[in-house]
Amino acid sequence: MNEVDDAENETSQPQPLSATARRCLGVLVEKAKTTPDGYPLSLAGLITGCNQKSNRSPQMQVDESDALSALDELRAAGAAREVQGSGRVTKYRHAAYEWLEVDSPGAAIMTELLLRGPQTAGELRTRASRMHKFPDLGSLKSELDALIEKGLVESLTPPGRGQTFAHRLYTPQERLYLVEKIKKQDAPTAASSRSEPAESTSEKSPHDNRIDKIQDRLDTVTAKLEALEKRLEFLES
């Protein structure tokens, strides 16, 4: 019985997606939340959203063939649907809520992870709040815990300041690459902390708190700049 239950749980977990399919899914959810008047998206609108400069990491150059292949992948997985738009223009909408079994706050977090890759809780709170308001860091962390329990998100670094989270829709090869990359990034910091006397921890805590506050302000300013860039791109289009 347990083996059957385990097999059912494995099959119910969303499978990994290609990088382009993840970008397309993230764009579909993002536009549904931030520009509902222009949703569902046409193929051209989806491509523009995939290639926009703001709120995307890494930058991509998705063409029509790439987008169509990604949409086929998403539809086969049950994560997106094709609909008939006005004037018989084919449009596309996501089915992320059903596919991932998440609500609005969970979808906002997953979308930011899909669009920008691994991030800290502070970065996620600032960036995901444009799609769903998180009143404080505690509310964001509660949603992260729920997503981790569902197997949709994982922590790539140990708990503490700078803890980094990622979605679990990467292919196994991509995940290994990410883990190694983050380990290399954290190595200098870890070596520095080991070389410092243990008794200096309490003395540094006020300084660390100031750094955290400065980082929060920087995250807020970054989010506002990204919102302005997005509005400019919308006006230009």
Task: With cut-offs at 50, 70 and 90, classify the pLDDT of residue 228.
Answer: confident
How much is the pLDDT for 161?
85
Mean of the per-residue pLDDT values of the chain: 84
Write out the two tokens for 206.
């006020």
pLDDT in tens, 168-201: 999 999 999 998 988 888 765 545 444 444 433 3
Cβ-in-10-Å burial (0-12, 13-18, 19+) of 209 comes to exposed
One-letter amino acid at 96 equals A
What was the pLDDT predicted at 9?
A: 45
**CATH class for the region spanning 13-99:** mainly alpha
**14 DSSP 8-state letter:** P
Over residues 1-57, the pLDDT tens digits come to 454 444 444 445 789 999 999 999 999 999 999 999 999 999 999 999 999 999 999
